[in-house]
Amino acid sequence: MSIDRLVLAFAGSMVLVSLLLAYLHSGYWLWLTAFVGANLLQSAFTGFCPLAKLLKRFGAPTGQAFG
């Protein structure tokens, strides 16, 4: 699986987990959803994604978006 797909899978998982935690525990978990969304938005404009850099360092194969 390429870095691109790993980043999208991780972001989607974090959104779903934070929504579940907000429903079951506290609405403050929605801040995690906001953080993930903001990070996705800034990476769309700048091309910089901290998770992509970390995955590349661990040897994940590069894709089209993050190199």
Contact criterion met (CB below 8 Å) for 63 and 5:
yes
Residue 42 lies in a domain: yes
Give how many domains the chain has, as a whole number: 1
53 — phi, psi (to 5°)?
Answer: -60, -40
Per-residue model confidence (pLDDT) at position 66: 67
Which residue type occupies 48? F
Per-residue model confidence (pLDDT) at position 67: 60
Which residues constitute the domain of residue 37?
Answer: 3-57
d(CA 32, CA 10): 13
Per-residue model confidence (pLDDT) at position 57: 95
Residue 53 lies in a domain: yes
| Residues of the chain below pLDDT 50 | none
Residue 63 lies in a domain: no
Which residue type occupies 36? V
